[in-house]
Amino acid sequence: MSDFKSSYLISVFIVAVIFVLYGCSSVKIEDLEIKELITTVLARKISISDTVKVSMKADAEWVQNPLLKPCNLESFSRLRSIIKIEAKSLESILSEEDLKKICVESEEDFIFSKKMVPQSVKLVEQNYLDSLFAAYTLSLKNQTVASQQFENLNSNAYIRLSKPIFLQKGEFAFIYYSNHSSESSSSLLVYEKTGQKWELILSFPLLIS
């Protein structure tokens, strides 16, 4: 009986170790995939700045854009026709199931960690970033913008990203990108994995100001 009990405990221990190791490796692989994608998305920003500020909290608000209501393949295709994108057909890349996955998972709470971003990216609390932008917007509305406020906003220009969504066994990736400064812009981006690199194949501009 004691031999059986010992064997049972050893088996349980081995299973537990395998579970822990597998779980840890899965997290590391996911973090690495996200880091590779974000490095590609921010490549231009990183090349011209020592530090790129990115909101720690993923942006889930883009799903509420009226141009994408309801959030499905038809809406994305309609958006594509409105802004006259000259690129690959969306329908030839993503399925209705892919769009459903994008719309559902993009609304989930997601926090970026340091393991998910390149070294030159600084993750910043969203509340602080919002306060800077709100102060600038109010001053602009009241026509009392001081040069210091303008410089402060631009020196603290930051990026917001949605939760990265990987599709079709990691062959494609979707991410929402928005740049916040005195001149703001935002886009929906679709990347394709070619070899070990991510290549931008579709970009849907949503805002330029």
The residues spanned by each domain of the chain are 2-208
CB contact set of 183 (below 8 Å; sequence gap of 6+): 209
The tens digit of pLDDT for each residue in 117-126 reads 999 899 988 7
Could you give the CA distance from residue 195 to residue 209 in angstroms, rounded to a whole number?
Answer: 36
Give this prediction's pTM: 0.73
The tens digit of pLDDT for each residue in 88-134 reads 667 778 888 888 899 899 999 999 999 999 998 999 887 877 776 67
The tens digit of pLDDT for each residue in 170-198 reads 999 999 999 876 567 888 899 999 988 99
CA-to-CA separations, 186 to 76, 86, 160, 169, in angstroms, rounded? 15, 18, 9, 26
The pLDDT value given to residue 28:
73
